[in-house]
């Protein structure tokens, strides 16, 4: 990990244009440097995702940016982004879209909607452990309503 962080610093130090691989490495470095989610530099991640979205616009980059926005700013701000992504055909069967939306709705106290999103996400993934975790989240939301 140390070698990777050093290589990233050298890439930034060259002063040249920052490309998508450098930005992706920057995202990984932000997560690697943090001991916990709370320790993560979410503001920096939003800025990096903003740059990545300009260089390589994609619905998945935008979804990841929304997660960072939710952590740096508010679940409400992130939910606005995620709601726009619901119109993206490329994400129709992507389990992480309803998963992220469910998490944001849960944080906003909208438990019935969150439960439905977690259940939808569970149906979209073939991974049995992910399904179980998503159904647990759905049950927790149902218990809090």
The model's pLDDT over 70-117, given as tens digits with 9 standing for 90+, comes to 999 999 999 999 999 999 999 999 999 999 999 999 999 999 999 999
Task: Specify whether 69 is located in the same domain as 100.
Answer: no
**How many CB atoms lie under 10 A from the CB of residue 54?**
11
Cβ burial 112-127 (10 Å sphere, 16+ → b, else e): ebbbbbbbbbbebbee
Let me know if residue 50 belongs to a domain: yes
State which residues form the domain around 16: 1-73
The model's pLDDT over 114-143, given as tens digits with 9 standing for 90+, comes to 999 999 999 999 999 999 999 999 999 999
Let me know if residue 81 belongs to a domain: no
Judge whether 111 and 145 are in contact, CB under 8 Å.
Answer: yes
Let me know if residue 55 belongs to a domain: yes
The model's pLDDT over 1-23, given as tens digits with 9 standing for 90+, comes to 777 777 777 777 787 778 898 89
pLDDT score recorded for residue 59: 98
Nearest to 137 by CA among 120, 115, 113, 108: 115
pLDDT score recorded for residue 61: 97
pLDDT score recorded for residue 86: 96
Place of tokens 């990841």: 64
Task: Specify whether 50 is located in the same domain as 98.
Answer: no
Record the pTM: 0.90
Percent of the chain topping pLDDT 90 = 81
- Indicate if the pLDDT at residue 43 is higher than 90: yes
């Amino acid at each position: 990990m140390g070698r990777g962080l050093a290589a990233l610093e050298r890439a930034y130090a060259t002063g040249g244009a920052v490309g998508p691989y450098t930005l992706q490495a920057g995202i990984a470095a932000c997560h690697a440097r943090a001991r916990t989610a709370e320790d993560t530099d979410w503001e920096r991640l939003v800025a990096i995702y903003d740059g990545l979205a300009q260089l390589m616009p994609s619905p998945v980059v935008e979804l990841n940016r929304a997660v960072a926005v939710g952590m740096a700013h508010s679940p409400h701000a992130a939910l606005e982004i995620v709601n726009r992504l619901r119109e993206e055909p490329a994400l129709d069967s992507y389990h992480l879209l309803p998963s992220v939306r469910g998490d944001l709705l849960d944080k906003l106290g909208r438990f019935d909607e969150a439960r439905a999103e977690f259940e939808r996400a569970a149906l979209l993934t073939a991974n049995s452990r992910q399904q179980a975790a998503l159904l647990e989240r759905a049950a927790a939301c149902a218990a809090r309503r």
